[in-house]
Amino acid sequence: MLAVSICVFVLDFFVKKFTYGINVAFINNFFGFYYGENVGIAFSLPVPVLASVFLTSILIVGFTYFVFRNFDLNKSFGLVVAGLILGGALGNLYDRIVYGYVRDFISVWKWPSFNIADSAIFCGALALLIFFDKIVLGKNKK
């Protein structure tokens, strides 16, 4: 879990660094790379920076507790899923603390811009929802 979290965090950090100021469109503007600064939280919902740092920190601690309490830590798939979510959350938390906003750069059609950290959180959360019964400990299955 730690290895996946670190990989996601480092990849997100360096990609954000190299995409500063980028503005490139593909496929008739359906997809592109456009650097942006998101002061809000999910889907660009406006929230004060201090509140988003606090909320993100609480969610990270709560999710980590949930993982250690409920995941089957002997199964690597669950650890990868948790690592994706935690690494992405830490990447965006870093941006909020250091810059006061999250650096986004991926644009798809009319969807709000996002980044590698957001993608990792989304993929991890989707996998958690789909494979929940295979990830949690047997005692939690009903």
Cα 71 from Cα 111, distance rounded (Å): 32
Determine phi and psi for 108, rounding to 5 degrees: -130, 115
Give a yes or no: residue 107 inside a domain: yes
Cα 122 from Cα 118, distance rounded (Å): 6
Give a yes or no: residue 140 inside a domain: no
How many secondary structure helices (H) and strands (E) does the chain include?
Answer: 5, 3
Give a yes or no: residue 16 inside a domain: yes
Give a yes or no: residue 84 inside a domain: yes
Give a yes or no: residue 141 inside a domain: no
The answer to whether residue 127 scores a pLDDT higher than 90 is: yes
Average pLDDT, the chain: 89
Is residue 118 part of the annotated active site? The answer reads: yes
Indicate the pTM of the whole model.
0.86
Tokens, residue 120:
């990792």
Give a yes or no: residue 36 inside a domain: yes
**Where does the pLDDT of residue 140 fall: very low under 50, low under 70, confident under 90, or very high at 90 and above?**
very low
Number of structural domains in the chain: 1
Is residue 104 part of the annotated active site? The answer reads: yes
Out of 12, 95, 118, 133, pick the active-site residue. Answer: 118
* 122: containing domain: 2-133
Give a yes or no: residue 142 inside a domain: no
73-101 pLDDT, tens digit each: 888 999 999 999 999 999 999 999 999 99
Give a yes or no: residue 139 inside a domain: no
